[in-house]
Amino acid sequence: MESEFKSGFISIIGRPNVGKSTFMNRVIGEKIAIMSDKAQTTRNKIQGVYTQDDAQLVFIDTPGIHKPKHKLGSFMVNVAEQSMNEVDLVLFMVNAKEGFGRGDEFIINMLQKVKQPVFLIVNKLDQVHPDELIKIIDEYRTKYDFAEIVPISALEGNNVDNLLKLMVEQMPEGPQFYPEDMITDHPERFVISELIREKALHLTREEVPHSIAVVIEGIEERENEKLNVQASIIVERSSQKGIIIGKQGSMLKEIGQRARKDIESLLGTKIYLELFVKVQKDWRNRANQLQEYGYRE
């Protein structure tokens, strides 16, 4: 007898920097969610699609959950909360090196409202001694009734195959939602803006990163088959604009070169990237501008 096809939606939640994007990118095998060592890199929900012979898993990479400090923060929590109630499985990812913390308590309180099964994913297994790992697992085990507890290393790939198997088992019978060669249903525009923002995050520091948004102003195909992309980097203060531009434009040039490389390898096409920098005071607190910059619910 042939077994039925299984499919479902999976939400990945957890504090910033636990490795959610790294995990998703490993599973999908393509760079669709941006990764960085700075918190709050991911602000939007990104879907990655994993397809095998008998199953399809659709991942939603949520923003890092934390107590909201400003409007953008509460928007991020809403996105995360909402996504948990629309999925078949929730992966709660934690950092094996850090153990239970205040941020996790906030998330576990949210999870009490979730009826779907929750897997505890203890990531960064490569960074702890096995004895430490057991202690951390025991600590989390007392806080919530997890359907599975799976230690992995998203970076090195340890135990990820096993986790894939457990996730597939958890999925209901269902159709193949997306074609098997499709890895994300996000418009290219969003992925492009995220890659630009990632480069700006990597190359700047201190208070600048969280004040950055990237808006794609235009994408058009040129005769020479190059894709012409115009994008603006939005900052909150003119001092930040100076940092992003750099000495004689050197920083902006570096951001552009690095972003172009990644965008080209993602799209498989040559692009011409034009970057602008704009100051928009206090954009994080203006809900209407959040919408304009793509942070929609």
Binding-site residues from annotation for GTP: 14-21, 61-65, 123-126
| Segment 35 to 54, residues that bind K ion, using CB under 5 A | 41-42
Please, which residue, 92 or 146, has the CB nearer to ligand GDP?
92
Ranked by CB distance to ligand GDP, the top (closest) residue is 19
CA distance 255 to 37: 17
The yes or no reply on residue 83 touching ligand GDP (CB under 6 A) is no
Question: Which one among 36, 228, 230, 289 touches ligand GDP, defined by CB under 6 A?
Answer: 36
**One of 6, 7, 13, 16 touching K ion (CB under 5 A):** 16
> Per CB under 6 A, does 240 bind ligand GDP?
no
103 near K ion, rule: CB under 5 A: no
**Which partner, Mg ion, ligand GDP, K ion, none, binds residue 153 by CB below 5 to 8 Å per kind?**
ligand GDP
Pair 123, 152: CB distance under 8 Å? yes
In the complex, what is the shortest distance from the CB of residue 40 to Mg ion, in angstroms, rounded to a whole number?
Answer: 8
Q: What CA–CA distance (Å, rounded) separates 271 from 295?
A: 25
Rounded CA gap, 129 and 138, in Å?
15
Starting at the earlier edge strand, list the strands of the sheet with 46-52: 46-52, 55-61, 6-13, 89-95, 118-123, 148-151
267 binds, among ligand GDP, Mg ion, K ion, none (CB under 5 to 8 A by kind): none
Per-residue interface string for the shown chain with ligand GDP, residues 53-72, x marking contact by CB under 6 A: -----------x--------
Nearest residue to 210 (alpha-carbon basis) of 103, 290, 284, 296: 284
Residues 6+ apart with CB under 8 A from 121: 14, 23, 91, 92, 93, 94, 150, 151, 152, 163
Binding test (CB under 6 A) with ligand GDP, winner from 7, 42, 47, 211 = 42
Name 253's bridge partners.
Answer: none
Which among ligand GDP, K ion, Mg ion, none contacts residue 8 (Cβ within 5 to 8 A by kind)?
Answer: none
124 lies in the site for ligand GDP, by CB under 6 A: yes
Whether the CB-CB separation of 104 and 15 falls below 8 Å is answered with yes
Residues 143, 207: Cα–Cα separation, whole Å: 34
Residue 246's identity, in one-letter code, is: G
Q: Given strand 271-279, what is the order of strands in its sheet? A: 213-221, 227-235, 271-279
Q: Does 151 bind K ion (CB under 5 A)?
A: no
**83 lies in the site for K ion, by CB under 5 A:** no
Asked if 211 is part of the footprint of K ion (rule: CB under 5 A), the reply reads no
CB of 221 to Mg ion, least distance (A): 31
DSSP 217: E
Where is the binding site, in residues? 14-21, 61-65, 123-126
Burial 128-167, CB ≥16 within 10 A → b, else e: beeeebeebbeebeeebebebebbbbbbeeebbeebeeeb
Regarding 64 and contact with K ion (CB under 5 A), the answer is yes
Write out the two tokens for 168.
Answer: 């597939």
Q: Which of residues 33-92 bind Mg ion (CB under 5 A)?
A: 41-42
Residue closer to Mg ion (CB basis): 7 or 47: 47
22 counts as binding ligand GDP under rule CB under 6 A:
yes
170 binds ligand GDP (CB under 6 A): no
Chain residues in the site for Mg ion (CB under 5 A): 20-21, 41-42
The residues of the shown chain that bind ligand GDP, judged by CB under 6 A, are: 14, 16-22, 35-37, 41-42, 64, 123-124, 126-127, 153-155
